[in-house]
Each structure stands twice: as C-alpha cells, then as structure tokens.
Amino acid sequence: MASSATRVDLDGKPITGITICMIGAGGFIGSHLCEKLMSETPHTVLAVDVYNDKIKHLLEPDSLPWTGRIQFHRINIKNDSRLEGLIKMADLTINLAAICTPADYNTRPLDTIYSNFIDALPVVKYCSENNKRLIHFSTCEVYGKTIGSYLPKDSPLRQDPAYYILKEDESPCIFGSIEKQRWSYACAKQLIERLIYAEGAENGLEFTIVRPFNWIGPRMDFIPGIDGPSEGVPRVLACFSNNLLRREPLKLVDGGESQRTFIYIKDAIEAVMLMIENPARANGHIFNVGNPNNEVTVRQLAEMMTKVYSKVSGEPSIDSPTIDVSSKEFYGEGYDDSDKRIPDMTIINKQLGWNPKTSLWDLLESTLTYQHRTYAEAIKQAIAKPIAS
Ligand SMILES: NC(=O)c1ccc[n+]([C@@H]2O[C@H](COP(=O)([O-])OP(=O)(O)OC[C@H]3O[C@@H](n4cnc5c(N)ncnc54)[C@H](O)[C@@H]3O)[C@@H](O)[C@H]2O)c1
Ligand SMILES: O=C(O)[C@H]1O[C@H](OP(=O)(O)OP(=O)(O)OC[C@H]2O[C@@H](n3ccc(=O)[nH]c3=O)[C@H](O)[C@@H]2O)[C@H](O)[C@@H](O)[C@@H]1O
C-alpha cells in the first residue's frame, strides 16, 4: 500500500503522484517496477505491453489496494495509434520495450534492429512534440568490447582500470565487424541514444537514459518448455536455472571466460525510482546501473549457481556440473561477446547518491529459491510425461 507518511525527494520536496506511461511493463524489469510503484508510491501506471502474465498479480483481483492506479493496455507499439494518446495522458514515459536476448541478435537481426531503433522512434517523437519527459532503457552493450581487449594478452595495461572501466561520458563504443551480427542490438541502442540526446540538445526533450548492467532476479525471461518455447534460448540466468532444474550440465559458451557484473533487480529498481522522483537531478543524464562489486567470469557464475542451487533445493549437484560448447553451436554464426563489463558509478553517485547493496551470493540465493519454488514441480512433471504416455 502507498505509505501515508509524506514522501520527499532528494532535495526534501514532497513527492506528488504522477501518471507514468510504461511501455514494456509486462516484462522482467517492468514487472518489478510496477510492483514497487504500486506498493510504495502514489503514482498511476498506464502499463503497455503485448503480454501481461508477469504483472497479472498486480491487475487482479479488483480488491487490491492499488486498484485504479494501474491499467493494462494490450498494445503492440509497432502499429497502434493509441500510443500517442497514452503518452499525452502521462507526465512521464518509460520505454522498456525491446528484443533483448543475445540468441536473437545474430539470428533475427532485422527484428532486433527494428525493435530497438525503428519502433522506439515514435515514442521519442511523441515525447518531444508533446513536451513529455522520457526515461529510455538502453544497455551496457553500447560499450561493446573494452579497449583492453585489443591489447596484447600479456600487456600490463590490461590491469589498468583506464582500459576496462566503462564510463558514460568517456568510454568509446567498440563493436565487431558487420558480419558479427551480435552487435545489431548494441548498434541500434546506440543510435536511439544518440537520437534522444539530439532531441534534448535541439528541441529541449527532457530525457534520462538508463544503461543496465546485467540486472537479474525472479521473473527474468522464461524456462524453456515450461513458460516459453522448448527450443528458446533465454539470458544466462534462465539458461543456467533451466539446466539446474533439469539436472543437466550448465553450458559454458567458449569456455565461460567472459566477465560480467550482476546486480539484483531490487537494487536496480531503487535507482530507477530515484530517477522517476528526482527529475531535476536525472534529466539530461545517461546512467550506468550495475554492481561493480559483483564481477565473475561466466564459469564462476556457473559454479556459484550450482552451489547455491544445491543449498536451496537440498539436492546434491551432478557429477559433471558444466560442459563447454562453442558459440557457433550455441548461438549460431555471427555471435561475438563483450569481454568485461564493470560500470563506473561516479555519475549516478553524484546525481542520485545511489549504490547497490546485494552480494552475488545473496541475490542468487533469493532468485534460485524463487526458481525452485516456481518451476521444480512443473519440470518434474514435464520430464515424467513422455515416460508415462
Ligand atoms: N534485464 C537487463 O539486465 C537489461 C540489460 C540491459 C538492457 N536492458 C533493457 O531494458 C529493457 C527491458 O528489459 P527486460 O529485461 O525487462 O526485457 P523483457 O523482454 O523482459 O521486457 C521487454 C518487454 O517489452 C515488451 N515489448 C517488446 N516489443 C514490444 C512491442 N512492439 N509492443 C509492446 N510491447 C513490447 C515485451 O513483450 C516484454 O514484455 C529493454 O529495453 C532492454 O534492452 C535490460
Ligand atoms: O543484461 C544485460 O546487461 C545486457 O546483456 C545481455 O547480454 P549478455 O550479458 O551477453 O547476455 P547473457 O545471455 O546474460 O549472457 C551472459 C554470458 O553468458 C554466456 N552464456 C549464456 C548462456 C549459457 O547457457 N551459457 C553461457 O555461457 C554468454 O555467452 C555471455 O558470455 C543482453 O544483451 C541484454 O539483456 C542486456 O542488454
């Protein structure tokens, strides 16, 4: 329930309720953001998506304390004239809609480019023309590869943070060649960032751009064959969860040497809330949102998830918990990878005073407890079915 105590922003001013048009509200991040907005703020959400399974618990039944403050609009933003009306009704638009799973970037590059650039264009245009504030979700993938990755393997400069820390206002965007279609997503996101920035500079659009660094937690993507296609390839948290639930080895792409920093979705949502409620501090900025303290290689992530899953499920791990696969076999031709992703936190710290809190072990423990509770029984039944029939 929205707290009755007066809520204030970072400058001590009372926060009044606003209307937010949230596009992509039915996805992983959108579902957590809607939950937070409903339970802790007075704001109203016009939730736009083609799916609503992940926010059903917020929409039904009619007796929920926030009834009337969230409305679902089943709209495909590619071709629906109702979008502009919703943006006009709102004080703020948050655009989360995108194709954003690496398995799609090199196998469906056209859909990826259309989704991340072309389909986002009208949203930017309507916000700019109607003087509405926009929070747009970009990605840490816009940084691409680190400068350090191009240095000789034995160069001592590889250990120098200047060659790998990713800074919003300084780091270049380094992508592979055009045949490496993995970068179709990053390139489309980069161009929409540039367009939004230009709308700000030339037409006064009030914008904030978010670059998430591997946000993970409950409701991320799907478990193949249970609540998504059997042959689908979700992001790494769901791939590894699926393997653990099915007692299969976790697949390490190209040796699992790439490095990532993972952040708990609930920590990241706190940062977005600060952006929503402190426009004067957030407008005109691009923010990295990640947890620089939670860096692991993908192999280390697999090992940690195996240990945590054993703990939460009470089942011992299998004898060979991981297996190596090539990226060509796993993702197909045209895959490439970001080598290392550590966010610089200076700007978000200065503007919003935000810091992540949750350790990788703790966030995996709560997330894998959720995965086990939600899926273990369904997986058992799915595995038993062919034998029974
Ligand atoms: N999760 C992360 O760590 C992460 C990292 C980097 C960037 N991002 C960005 O954040 C945003 C949200 O990511 P997410 O993890 O919640 O992804 P998600 O796939 O769970 O959510 C995206 C939502 O957008 C909806 N959508 C897509 N196209 C649409 C259309 N044409 N019309 C209406 N709805 C549409 C989808 O149905 C989905 O519910 C994306 O823009 C993504 O690129 C996320
Ligand atoms: O989440 C993010 O911050 C961004 O990064 C992701 O990209 P990536 O981190 O490469 O995507 P994952 O699917 O989560 O893969 C992470 C790493 O694990 C590896 N992987 C994935 C799945 C698997 O089963 N095994 C495996 O080794 C991948 O090759 C990659 O190196 C996606 O592009 C976006 O969701 C988002 O923009």
* ipTM of predicted assembly, 2 dp: 0.99
The pLDDT of residue 308 is above 50: yes
Q: Give alpha helix (H) positions in 204-345.
A: 236-245, 265-277, 279-282, 298-313, 327-331
**Tell me, what's the pLDDT at 180?**
98
The per-residue pLDDT for range 30-48, each reduced to its tens digit, is: 999 999 999 999 999 999 9
Cα-to-centroid distance, 147 and ligand 1 (Å): 28
Which amino acid is residue 107, in one-letter code? T
Between CA 350 and CA 43 the distance in angstroms is 26
Q: What is the mean pLDDT of the chain?
A: 96
**Which whole-number Å values give the CA distances from 214 to 163, 255, 277, 281, 347, in the listed order?**
20, 19, 23, 24, 18
Residue 116 DSSP one-character state: H
**Residue 185 designated active-site:** yes
Residues with CB under 6 A from ligand 2: 100, 102, 139-141, 212-214, 235-236, 239, 251-253, 256, 258, 260, 298, 337-338
| Ligand 1 neighbourhood includes 119 CB (under 6 angstroms) | yes
- C-alpha triplet 6, 12, 13: angle, nearest 5°: 70
Cα-to-centroid distance, 98 and ligand 1 (Å): 4
Q: Measured from the CA of 327, which atom of ligand 2 is nearest?
A: 29
For residue 98, give the H/E element and its range: none
Between CA 370 and CA 381 the distance in angstroms is 18
The pLDDT of residue 1 is above 80: no
Are residues 22 and 33 in contact, defined by beta-carbon separation less than 8 angstroms? Answer: yes
Mean local confidence (pLDDT), 330-345: 97
**Tell me, what's the pLDDT at 121?**
98
Q: Which of 105, 126, 185, 264 is catalytic?
A: 185
Cis peptide leading into residue 122 (ω within 30°) = no
The pLDDT of residue 389 is above 50: no
**Tell me, what's the pLDDT at 6?**
87
Are residues 185 and 139 in contact, defined by beta-carbon separation less than 8 angstroms? Answer: yes
Between CA 134 and CA 136 the distance in angstroms is 6
Are residues 73 and 51 in contact, defined by beta-carbon separation less than 8 angstroms? Answer: no
Residue 59 DSSP one-character state: H
Cα-to-centroid distance, 199 and ligand 1 (Å): 23
Q: Backbone phi, then psi, for 133, in 5-degree steps?
A: -75, 145
Beta bridge partners of 332: none
Cα-to-centroid distance, 116 and ligand 1 (Å): 10
The pLDDT of residue 257 is above 50: yes
The per-residue pLDDT for range 239-256, each reduced to its tens digit, is: 999 999 999 999 999 999
Between CA 209 and CA 129 the distance in angstroms is 18
Q: Does the CA dihedral 363-302-101-368 come out positive or negative? A: negative
Residue 104 DSSP one-character state: H
Helix or strand or coil: residue 325?
strand
**Tell me, what's the pLDDT at 5?**
73
**Tell me, what's the pLDDT at 156?**
97
**Tell me, what's the pLDDT at 4?**
54
| Ligand 1 neighbourhood includes 215 CB (under 6 angstroms) | yes
By most ligand atoms within 8 Å of CB, the mutation choice from 21, 22, 28 for ligand 1 is 28
Between CA 118 and CA 241 the distance in angstroms is 33
Helix or strand or coil: residue 54?
helix
**What is the number of other CB atoms lying within 10 angstroms of the CB of residue 6?**
8
Between CA 8 and CA 356 the distance in angstroms is 21
The per-residue pLDDT for range 366-386, each reduced to its tens digit, is: 999 999 999 999 999 999 876
For residue 380, give the H/E element and its range: helix 360-388
The per-residue pLDDT for range 74-89, each reduced to its tens digit, is: 999 999 999 999 999 9
The per-residue pLDDT for range 57-115, each reduced to its tens digit, is: 999 988 899 989 999 999 999 999 999 999 999 999 999 999 999 999 999 999 999 99
**Which whole-number Å values give the CA distances from 96 to 47, 200, 319, 339, in the listed order?**
11, 19, 40, 25
pLDDT range class, residue 387, cuts 50, 70, 90: low
Q: Backbone phi, then psi, for 347, in 5-degree steps?
A: -70, -45
The per-residue pLDDT for range 172-212, each reduced to its tens digit, is: 999 999 999 999 999 999 999 999 999 999 999 999 999 99
By most ligand atoms within 8 Å of CB, the mutation choice from 31, 49, 112 for ligand 1 is 49
Cα-to-centroid distance, 253 and ligand 2 (Å): 10
Burial 81-105 (b: 16+ CB within 10 A, else e): eebbebbeebbbbbbbbbbbbbbbb
**Tell me, what's the pLDDT at 157?**
97
| Ligand 1 neighbourhood includes 52 CB (under 6 angstroms) | no
Are residues 63 and 105 in contact, defined by beta-carbon separation less than 8 angstroms? Answer: no
The pLDDT of residue 388 is above 60: no
